[in-house]
A and B are shown apart, each in its own frame.
Chain A
Amino acid sequence: MAFARFIGIALRYGATPALQGLDLSTERGEIFCLLGASGSGKTTLLKIAGGFLAPDAGRVELDGQDITRLPPWQRPVNTMFQSYALFPHMTVAENIGFGLRRMGMRGAALKTRVAELLTLVRLDGFAERRIDTISGGQQQRVALARSLARRPKLLLLDEPFSALDRNLREETRTDLLRLLRDLDITSIIVTHDQEEALSSADRIGVLRAGRLEQVGTPAAVYEHPVNRYVAEFLGAATLLPGTVIGGADELVRIALNCGTEMVVRGNARAGERVLLGVRPENVVASATGSLVGVVETILYRGATQEITLRLPDGSVLRMARPVQRGALPPQPGARLHVAIPLDAGMLLRD
Chain B
Amino acid sequence: MTRSRFLTAWLLGGLLFLYGPIAVLVATSFNASSLMTEWTGFSLRWYRALLHDRTLIDAALLSLRIAAVAATGATVLGGLAGFALARMPNLAGRRTMAGLLAAPLVLPDLLIGLSLLLLFVASEMLLGVPNGRGAGTVAIAHATMCLSYVAVVVEARLAAGGTVLEMAAMDLGAGPVMAFLRITLPLMAPALVSGWLLAFTLSLDDVVVASFTSGPGATTLPMVVYSTLRLGPTPVLNALATVVLALAAGAAAAIWVLGRRGEAAAG
Contacts and interface: CB of A to CB of B under 8 A. Distances in A.
B173 A87 contact: no
Interface residues of B, number: 21
Interface in B210-267: 264-267
A253 interface: no
B89 to A, nearest CB: 13
A99 B172 contact: yes
Contact of A52 (B167, B179, B186, B267): B167
A88 B267 CA distance: 9
Interface in B162-212: 164-165, 167-175, 178-179, 182-183, 186-187
Interface string A240-284: 000000000000000000000000000000000000000000000
B264 A98 contact: no
Interface in B127-165: 164-165
B170 A87 contact: no
A318 interface: no
A88 B169 CA distance: 12
Chain A interface size range: 20 to 34
Given A87-B165, A132-B267, A78 B171 contact: yes
Nearest to A103: B173
> Which one of A52, A72, A146 has the highest number of Cβ atoms from chain B below 10 Å of its Cβ?
A72
Contacts of B174: 73, 98, 102
B170 A88 contact: no
A43 to B, nearest CB: 12
Contact of A102 (B167, B172, B187, B266): B172
Given A71-B175, A85-B165, 14 more contacts: A50-B167, A72-B167, A72-B171, A73-B172, A73-B175, A73-B179, A74-B173, A81-B164, A85-B167, A86-B168, A98-B172, A99-B173, A102-B178, A150-B172
Interface of A: 50-52, 71-74, 77-79, 81, 83, 85-89, 98-99, 102-103, 131-132, 146-147, 149-150
